[in-house]
Amino acid sequence: MFGRIDASIVAIDGSIVAIDGSIVAVNAFIHRVDATPAFNRDMTLALRGISAFCFLLSAFQGA
């Protein structure tokens, strides 16, 4: 019984790591976009909002 509980905890930790990885990918894309002056500013703000949402989602999963 305890083995199953431990396995589920590991699975939850893995999903949090996956979400954190997506945040890093979005942040890397934002930095690349910032280096391109011709890019639409609204799209950059939207990507930052998505990044913040992913961060909050990972925080709630960790709670």
SS3 1: coil
Judge whether residue 1 has pLDDT over 50.
Answer: no
The string of pLDDT tens digits covering residues 8-30 is 555 555 555 555 556 666 666 66
pTM of the model: 0.33
Query: CA 1, CA 16: separation in Å to the nearest integer?
Result: 24
Q: Are 57 and 21 in contact (CB under 8 A)?
A: no
- Name the token pair of 51: 């990044």
Domain ranges of the chain: 2-62
